[in-house]
Chains A and B, each alone.
Chain A
Amino acid sequence: MSPEADGRAPAPLLPELELRRLSVHYGSVAALSRVSVALPAGEITCVLGENGSGKSTLVAVLSGLRAHDEGQLLLRGEPVRFRSPRQARAAGIATVWQDLAVAPLLSIWRNFFLGAEPTRGVWPLRRLDVDRARETTVRAMARVGVPRVDPDQPASTLQAGARQSLAIARAVHFGARALLVDEPTAPLTVAQQTLLLQAIVAARKEGLAVLLVTNNPRYAHLVGDRFLLLAHGSVAGTLTRDDVDAADLMRLMAGGEEFSALTSALTALHSELGDR
């Protein structure tokens, strides 16, 4: 359980986030069934599994979007029950959502701070601190490789890649303790994947607990410290980096055989894919 040090600050004894025999039901269907997992600070935990195995539900519970029905959710050892993503964000848990959670008609800076806007003044004159929000947005976007952004433009004017950068920049800005990344469904270029991985590795370096949900075992093995395999809402296995290599991970995933067959077929056709 205890994370290896390799030059990083010694991890605290308690994991940032922990699930203990946690279940979530949608009607009579169990989306998660008695799942136990710990997310230690300064480690990347990759969640792998088929579609419908409960990966997104796991993110929903950790980010406060969906309350759990049974079991416990522990934040630094304290049982918590988030009633809204606002509470989870206030606790320092930031999320890169699968759909990016970007409002196309809102300006970039409004998107950046949506749900956690900086204000000044006292109620009823409490108002948005627009200048500070604009500046912070421009700086945060520049940090993730989108310089010279006009924060007043609607987010729909951003290209798909820059919109993803917006989602990442926002999560990096607000994530004080934990970063949850539900791999975007939109197709990513290699450069965009690089950016996402860099953000994840940088968050680990800063001592955040990182959860990465992905369909791509190679990609998971590249950055992951620990791997959680989900199948039908239950934990099918927990592994550390020392236990497996990328090929093992791929085989372990449900449907992994078809996946590796597909990969070799594709690699035969497009040799550049083999390098990824």
Chain B
Amino acid sequence: MIAEGQPTFGASSVVASDQRRLFARALDRPSLPALVGLVVVVLFFGVQAPELLTAAGVAGVLDVAASLGIGAVAVALLLVAGQFDLSVGVVAVASSLLSAILIGHAGWATWPALTASLAASLAVGVVNGVLVINTGLPSFLVTVATFLVLQGTALAGFEAVTGSTQVTGLDRATGWESAAAVFGSSAEIAGGRFQVSVLWWAAATALAGWALWRTRFGNAVFASGGARTAARELGVPVRGTTITLFCLTATAGWLIGTLALLRLESVLVTNAGLGAGIDYVVVAVIGGCLLTGGYGSAVGAAVGALVYAVARQGIALAGWDPRWFQALLGVLLLVALLANGVVRRRLKAVPRS
């Protein structure tokens, strides 16, 4: 309908040489800095602690990375949508405490108890999401509040109900065996004991990656974080997407808690600390998510979890003081933030209209 041969306005990207394009394409991948970081930490700790690269060492790394990665993948989606969630760690603790009370104290069968704690976790996610959407408060503060409420309630409530700080004998409950097979089993491969949580982590990453890049939901996630006004103007369901994402992080928290509960067959009341919640965000940022939203990837978050796990296990195996890990994590985070800043400037180099 509009005639061809019109004056063109800035003929989009000038086609550069293929090599440059390949380089630019690689830079466009949010997970690139994390991959580089992974290579660096593997090389460094491979030299410092060679047992890291044995089957047992790899199994240890994957075990740490799995539970962290499940949370980080969900948090990464939320960060892409421009929101924060610091309550994942406490949802993990609280949901496993709830499952333990229902199974060990109230005598429920395993699967109904797990379903009930999943429902409770989802309720936390809905509350987080609705509060953030309806009040317009920063999700950082809202989820810190949720974290405090949940931590206090779960720990005090657990002791008030059970009268002790521990519940044991959970494995006598009906359905425990089948649940343990799904969430708590492990397999010995080439001398290393690999936990089933690694499969859950891989599945979560694959599903999140697919959803982010190949579904309408993923488009809505990107747009909600990167251009909220535009998303609203085009009828993208920003509210529903945000609430769904908070439910996803809560579900990830439940999965982390359930995996630990079914493997350890007991639960100990401990103060999780805010650090556990921040770790997921740190890992997602190392994985290339921008804190401002609109950019990031699930695979990147998974790679970020691997970086974290290699560094932690490496320091332990090298026999260093484990407190060095925090310092190293801080450095990794800073490097990731700077690298992400470069990406961000590159993407936004052209003036916005």
Chain A positions near chain B (C-beta within 8 angstroms):
63-65, 84-89, 95, 97, 99-106, 108, 110, 113-117, 119, 126-128, 130, 141-150, 153-154, 156-165, 172, 184, 186, 189, 191-192, 194-195, 198-199, 202, 205-206
Give 9 closest A-B pairs by Cβ, nearest first.
Answer: A159-B10, A161-B9, A86-B235, A145-B6, A103-B227, A85-B235, A115-B234, A101-B230, A202-B1
* A146–B2 touching, CB < 8 Å: no
* B235–A87 touching, CB < 8 Å: yes
What residues of chain A lie closer than 8 Å to B15, measured between beta carbons? 148, 150
What residues of chain A lie closer than 8 Å to B13, measured between beta carbons? 149-150, 153, 157
What residues of chain B lie closer than 8 Å to A127, measured between beta carbons? 210, 214-215
Chain B residue at smallest Cβ distance from A83: B235
- B1-37 contacts to A, CB under 8 A, are 1-4, 6-13, 15, 28
* A106–B226 touching, CB < 8 Å: yes
How many residues on the B side are at the interface (Cβ–Cβ under 8 A)?
A: 43
* A99–B353 touching, CB < 8 Å: yes
Q: What are 16 A-B residue pairs whose CB atoms fall within 8 Å in the complex? A: A97-B233, A103-B222, A104-B226, A104-B294, A104-B348, A105-B226, A106-B226, A110-B219, A113-B219, A114-B236, A143-B1, A145-B6, A146-B9, A153-B13, A163-B353, A192-B9
Known A-B contacts A114-B223, A156-B352; the reply to A95 vs B295 at CB < 8 A is: no
What residues of chain A lie closer than 8 Å to B58, measured between beta carbons? none
A132 to chain B minimum Cβ distance, whole angstroms, is 13
B260 to chain A minimum Cβ distance, whole angstroms, is 28
Known A-B contacts A95-B233, A159-B10; the reply to A114 vs B351 at CB < 8 A is: no
A148 to B11, CA, bound (A): 8
Chain B residue at smallest Cβ distance from A106: B222
Say yes or no: is B172 at the interface (Cβ < 8 Å to chain A). no
* A198–B2 touching, CB < 8 Å: yes
* B10–A161 touching, CB < 8 Å: yes
A65 to B232, CA, bound (A): 7
A156-B348, A165-B9 known; 18 new pairs, CB 8 Å cut-off, are A85-B234, A97-B233, A101-B229, A103-B226, A105-B347, A110-B219, A114-B223, A117-B219, A141-B12, A142-B4, A147-B8, A148-B11, A148-B15, A154-B347, A157-B13, A162-B8, A162-B9, A194-B6
Known A-B contacts A89-B235, A148-B12; the reply to A160 vs B351 at CB < 8 A is: yes
A161 to B219, CA, bound (A): 24
Say yes or no: is B349 at the interface (Cβ < 8 Å to chain A). yes
* B10–A162 touching, CB < 8 Å: yes
* A146–B12 touching, CB < 8 Å: yes
Say yes or no: is B231 at the interface (Cβ < 8 Å to chain A). yes
Known A-B contacts A97-B233, A145-B2, A162-B9; the reply to A184 vs B226 at CB < 8 A is: no
A200 to chain B minimum Cβ distance, whole angstroms, is 11
* B2–A191 touching, CB < 8 Å: no
Residue in A95, A104, A149, A162 whose CB lies within 8 Å of B227: A104
A99 to B1, CA, bound (A): 25
A163 to B348, CA, bound (A): 13
What residues of chain B lie closer than 8 Å to A161, measured between beta carbons? 9-10
What residues of chain A lie closer than 8 Å to B216, measured between beta carbons? 117, 119, 126, 128
A145 to B1, CA, bound (A): 11
* B214–A146 touching, CB < 8 Å: no
A179 to chain B minimum Cβ distance, whole angstroms, is 12
B332 to chain A minimum Cβ distance, whole angstroms, is 24
A214 to B353, CA, bound (A): 18
What residues of chain A lie closer than 8 Å to B214, measured between beta carbons? 127-128, 130
What residues of chain A lie closer than 8 Å to B231, measured between beta carbons? 103, 114-115
Chain A residue at smallest Cβ distance from B21: A150
- B184-238 contacts to A, CB under 8 A, are 210, 214-216, 218-220, 222-223, 226-227, 229-237
A106 to B220, CA, bound (A): 11
* A157–B6 touching, CB < 8 Å: no
Chain A residue at smallest Cβ distance from B10: A159
What residues of chain B lie closer than 8 Å to A148, measured between beta carbons? 11-12, 15
